[in-house]
Amino acid sequence: MTSSDDVQKKNSKRKSSKRKNAKSAGFREASRRALEDPRLQAALDRALRVAVEKRNERVAVHPDWEGVRARAEALRTEAVDEMPALLEQLEARLIENGCQVHHAPDASAARAIVLSLARERGVKSVVKAKSMTTEEIALNAALKDADIEVLETDLGEYIIQLTGEPPSHVTAPAIHLSTRDIAEIFHEHLGVPVVEDAERLTAIARERLREAFLAADLGISGANAMVAETGTIMVVENEGNARLATSLPRVHIVVAGIEKVVPRADDLAALLEVLPTSATGQLASAYVSFIDGPRGPDEADGPEEVHVVLLDNGRRAIREDEELSEILRCIRCGACQNICPVFRHTGGHAYGGTYAGPFGSVLEPAMCDHGSDLPFASSLCGACKEVCPVDIDLPRLLVTMRKRDVQQRSGGRAERAAFSLWRWSMGGAWRMRAGAAMLRTSWRIAPRWTARRHDKLGWGSGRPLPAPAHHAFRRRWAKGESGLGPDDGGPRES
Amino acid sequence: MTVRAEEPALSSKIAPIHDVGLFVPCLVDQYLPEVGEATVRVLRALGLRVHYERRQTCCGQPAYNAGHMKQARRLAGRTLRLFDAQPVDAIVGPSGSCVSMLRVHAARLDLKPRDRAAWASVAPRIFEVTEFLDLRLGLKRLEGRYPRCITYHASCHLTRELGVRDAPKRFLASLEGVELLPLPDEGVCCGFGGTFSTKLPELSMAMGRDKLDAFHRSGADELVMGDAGCLLQVRGVAKAAGEDPGRIRHIIEVFADAMEAK
């Protein structure tokens, strides 16, 4: 490597660490704003508490939850392990079924494929089923720029499309909004009177969506699973909008991450047992669609063309990363978001990207190259791991991401130095006693200054660290205070 | 809870036990020495000889949680070697997260061979204190008197990583005169999370306040828990809210007081 290469490498490292550090201010600041918003706090608590209760009720009456969870984990692990062969098989079956298959190495390629398909067919209007993958590739903005009208048809997505917000939860995009909020949004954007009634609001949306379904040239959806054995696309939903969006328009485009592939049709049974329970506490979703290609010669319904865009966008790289590859098992159920005590207070927008909550805190920095502070947005309580239907060890993945952040961050010098010093002071009992003595002296002779130092560390108002106890345990033992000290007649202290 | 290959099965309670080594986490040593004392009182009351390795300092968990693996490795390794050298049947500590660090997480640290050997020797016989009473001593109840109305917070690492769920409440409920009320959102994190409390202090405080609110809703007079980090966090939040932190107690202190009241 020449010296100019060295300099270039150093410069780009510094630049990227500046970018990362600038983004690092992101989550804490966003979480502060979220905490100061009482309406948001109330909406999140109400909706997520119910989601967790329903999920727990369903799991409690399940005859063998751990068993079905183990099956789901096994099939998803197999899917990730055997991904290359399964994708080949999937593609062959899709083509046999009459679908057209496109490969998108990244987001920009995926957008280009969809736009080109749309333009070639003179598409003027699109109806979309809910798809986080299309959020990931920022598809809607690209369609809009190409003067193609896009309408989100999932009720939650429809609402936030009106306000221009991104989804704040992986299955419930408008979870951050109360019924009152939605009534006000409809009043402002649709000109209807403020009607704080969920059924009436839904009816208003349904009227507008009906017309759009019938008029659209193109329907775009994601996929909950793609079966390699049969070339079947499975879409799971509760509103019926995905069913309409994928069957009424002439053309249907599926945009799906490659990790959505599963080996066999039988595997769908295990997925359909764990997904609705984990996502919404339902025994089954209202609609499950199995798409086996475009309209057949003797069929009355269905699109004339079905295109499947297989999106990589960093997934293959994660698959090769032994420490992280299990994140690809994720079936996007949102159970981890529902249970997470941090997400409960912040909602999804605070995470600043496509994916939020525990699984998002791994995916965003690992796959989307964004959100280097997100792995730290967790107290590592482990509730997410407990509810994950495919048994992803999220706390472990978060710690792995933290480890890598420490290794790669050039701006973390102060913290590294602090931990080195701390480790040194803990490296021996006399050093620890000396450090502790300094801390006690500091509290004694300069209590207000010491309290301010703690405050600066985030440990304000004596939480969680007050002044240390007058005599540490080790001192009490050594001095024989309160009956402490070696037992008489026992073996000598080591 | 799936048991992974690296988690050692805990020693059965077949072998009799006389000598235990104390694991006094750094937070207990410096901030909650009375918790260490109470641990000694309880173990001695049960007829055990208690040894304290005075060179112990810290298990390395703060560094591990913050991603500083080199530092975590050295401290965990040192602590494991010190404990392994003790002539004791088991090591017992009054904090679930610290025991979990040495038993579960240390295995993931790429330890040096002699530290790894120490882990293999220590991990099957290091316990959180209620776990010790339950699994290693085989106790079903405690002989003690505690005529108070209490509720129990289920600490994250103790519950989810060590799998200690029922024993603490069973022991508390067995005390004479006690009224054990359920805590709403019993298993929800208190918000300490180690370095989480410094990196995201507003969230940490909000989660701590949720725990305090749940305590109020329970109707109990005392909130009891089995982790040093949780204790400091919730007491700190109580103090900041102008409440008496003394109503928030460590479970081993409750056991010690109860056993001595009989």
Residue-wise DSSP of B131-160:
HIIIIIS--S----B--SEEEEE--HIIII
- Helix ranges (H only) for A36-82 are 38-61, 65-81
Which positions ≥6 away from A381 have C-beta within 8 Å? Answer: A341, A395, B156, B160, B188, B189, B193
> Alpha-carbon dihedral of residues A259, A260, A265, A269, nearest 10 degrees?
110
Q: Which of the pair, B236 or A4, is modelled with greater confidence? A: B236
Q: Would you put residue A164 in left (φ > 0), alpha (ψ -120 to 50) or beta?
A: left
Q: How close does chain B come to A312, measured CA to CA in Å?
A: 29
Interface contacts A/B by beta carbons within 8 Å = 216
> Tokens in use for A394?
């999220």
pLDDT for B3 beyond 90: no
Q: Would you put residue A43 in left (φ > 0), alpha (ψ -120 to 50) or beta?
A: alpha
- The answer to whether A428 and B57 are in contact (CB under 8 A) is yes
C-alpha separations of B120 from B59, B64, B78, B109 in Å: 16, 19, 14, 13
Q: Which residues 333-392 of A have a C-beta within 8 angstroms of B?
A: 341-342, 345-346, 376-383, 385-386, 391
pTM of the model: 0.93
For the stretch B159-197, pLDDT in tens is 999 999 999 999 999 999 999 999 999 999 999 998 899
CB contact under 8 A, B202 and A31: yes
- The pLDDT, as a whole number, for residue B11 is 58
Q: Which residues of A fall within a CB distance of 8 Å from B30?
A: 436, 439, 468-469, 472-473
CB contact under 8 A, B63 and A35: no
Q: Which residues 179-238 of A have a C-beta within 8 angstroms of B?
A: none
Q: What is the mean pLDDT of residues A290-314?
A: 96
pLDDT for B73 beyond 80: yes
Which residue from A minimizes the CA distance to B199? A458
Q: Mean pLDDT score of chain A, rounded to an integer? A: 92
- The answer to whether B145 and B174 are in contact (CB under 8 A) is no
Q: Does the beta carbon of B217 lie under 8 angstroms from any beta carbon of chain A?
A: no
Q: Mean pLDDT score of chain B, rounded to an integer? A: 93
In this complex, which of A377, A423, A458 lies closest to B75 when CB atoms are compared?
Answer: A423
C-alpha separations of A295 from A226, A249, A252, A291, B224 in Å: 18, 11, 11, 10, 64
pLDDT band of residue A14 (cuts 50, 70, 90) is very low
For testing the chain A interface, which of B3, B42, B52 should be mutated: the one with the most A CBs within 10 Å? Answer: B52
CB contact under 8 A, A396 and B108: yes
Q: Does the beta carbon of B34 lie under 8 angstroms from any beta carbon of chain A?
A: yes
pLDDT band of residue A7 (cuts 50, 70, 90) is very low
CB contact under 8 A, A458 and B203: no
Q: Does the beta carbon of A428 lie under 8 angstroms from any beta carbon of chain B?
A: yes
Q: Which residues of B fall within a CB distance of 8 Å from A473?
A: 24, 28-30, 33, 36-37
CB contact under 8 A, A462 and B44: no
In this complex, which of B85, B199, B206 lies closest to A494 when CB atoms are compared?
Answer: B85
ipTM for the complex shown: 0.94
> Tokens in use for B11?
């020693």
Query: Pairing state of beta strands A261-262 and B19-22?
Result: unpaired
CB contact under 8 A, B193 and A381: yes
For the stretch A128-161, pLDDT in tens is 999 999 999 999 999 999 999 999 999 999 999 9
pLDDT band of residue A487 (cuts 50, 70, 90) is confident
Q: What is the mean pLDDT of residues B57-80?
A: 94
Q: Which residues 90-119 of B have a C-beta within 8 angstroms of A?
A: 108
Nearest to B82 by CA among A435, A433, A426, A419: A426
CB contact under 8 A, B193 and A378: yes
Q: Which residues of B fall within a CB distance of 8 Å from A53?
A: none
In this complex, which of B29, B51, B68 lies closest to A473 when CB atoms are compared?
Answer: B29
pLDDT for A493 beyond 90: no
Nearest to B208 by CA among A437, A44, A86, A341: A341
Q: Which residues of B fall within a CB distance of 8 Å from A399?
A: 64-65, 67
pLDDT for A410 beyond 70: no
- The pLDDT, as a whole number, for residue A414 is 81
Q: Which residues 124-153 of A have a C-beta within 8 angstroms of B?
A: none
pLDDT band of residue A17 (cuts 50, 70, 90) is very low
Q: Which of the pair, A483 or A121, is modelled with greater confidence? A: A121
For the stretch B150-162, pLDDT in tens is 999 999 999 999 9
pLDDT for A5 beyond 50: no
The percent of residues above 90 in pLDDT, for chain A, comes to 81
The percent of residues above 70 in pLDDT, for chain A, comes to 93
Q: Which residues of A fall within a CB distance of 8 Å from B85?
A: 494
> Alpha-carbon dihedral of residues A85, A88, A91, A92, nearest 10 degrees?
-110
For testing the chain A interface, which of B71, B156, B158, B203 should be mutated: the one with the most A CBs within 10 Å? Answer: B203
Q: Which residues 161-200 of B have a C-beta within 8 angstroms of A?
A: 161, 187-189, 191-200
pLDDT for B23 beyond 90: yes
For the stretch A189-231, pLDDT in tens is 999 999 999 999 999 999 999 999 999 999 999 999 999 999 9
- The pLDDT, as a whole number, for residue B13 is 53
pLDDT band of residue A21 (cuts 50, 70, 90) is very low
Distance CA A362, CA A399 (A): 10
- The pLDDT, as a whole number, for residue A12 is 41
C-alpha separations of B220 from A18, B189, B190, B215 in Å: 50, 19, 17, 7
Which positions ≥6 away from B161 have C-beta within 8 Å? Answer: A382, B96, B97, B100, B104
Q: Does the beta carbon of A290 lie under 8 angstroms from any beta carbon of chain B?
A: no
By the 10 Å C-beta count (0-12 exposed, 13-18 middle, 19+ buried), B37 is classed as buried
